[in-house]
């Protein structure tokens, strides 16, 4: 009877250790929530801004204008520039935080003649 009780205790300790190891080894992955870009245009210029919630520092922001990297706006929450009136500009922001999971948001902006 004593041997059986010891065996049950050993098995319980081993199972608890395995469960604790699995819980630590598989953390939930989180990443930032990105809204936007929200953009305006007028008089041959555009301006866009993104919203970021829930990031874990450090946060890396990369901007792309017409599919080209625009490093002058990196690590900022906004980007702006000139655009041909009546034309479109492709704007994309890629946000990566400590999770290492990139979140990409983009849109096409119609360049207006006058500020709406």
User: What is the domain partition of the chain in residue ranges?
Assistant: 33-110
What is the per-residue pLDDT across 32-90, written as a single tens digit (0 to 9) for each? 999 999 999 999 999 999 999 999 999 999 999 999 999 999 999 999 999 999 999 99
Q: Where are the beta strands (DSSP E) in the chain?
A: 33-42, 45-53, 60-65, 68-69, 78-82, 88-96, 103-110
Query: In which band, very low, low, confident or very high, does the pLDDT at 114 lie, cut at 50, 70 and 90?
Result: confident
Per-residue confidence (pLDDT) for residue 30, from 0 to 100: 75
Cβ neighbours for 36, distance < 8 A, ≥ 6 positions apart: 48, 49, 50, 51, 93, 105, 107
33-110 has CATH 2.60.40.10 classification? yes
Residue 107 CA to residue 88 CA, distance in Å, equals: 10
In a 3-state reduction of DSSP, which class is residue 26?
coil
Instruction: Looking at mean pLDDT, say which of 17-26, 27-36, 40-49 comes out highest.
Output: 40-49
Tell me, yes or no, if the pTM score tops 0.85: no
């Amino acid at each position: 009877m004593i041997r059986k009780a010891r065996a049950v205790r050993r098995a319980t300790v081993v199972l608890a250790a395995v469960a604790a190891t699995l819980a630590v080894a598989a953390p939930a992955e989180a990443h930032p929530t990105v809204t936007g870009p929200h953009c305006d245009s007028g008089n041959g210029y555009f301006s866009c801004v993104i919203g970021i919630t829930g990031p874990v520092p450090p946060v890396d922001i990369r901007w792309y204008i017409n599919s080209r990297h625009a490093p002058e706006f990196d690590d900022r929450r906004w980007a702006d520039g000139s655009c041909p009136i009546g034309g479109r500009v492709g704007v994309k922001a890629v946000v990566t935080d400590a999770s290492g999971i990139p979140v990409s948001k983009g849109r096409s902006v119609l360049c207006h003649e006058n500020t709406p």
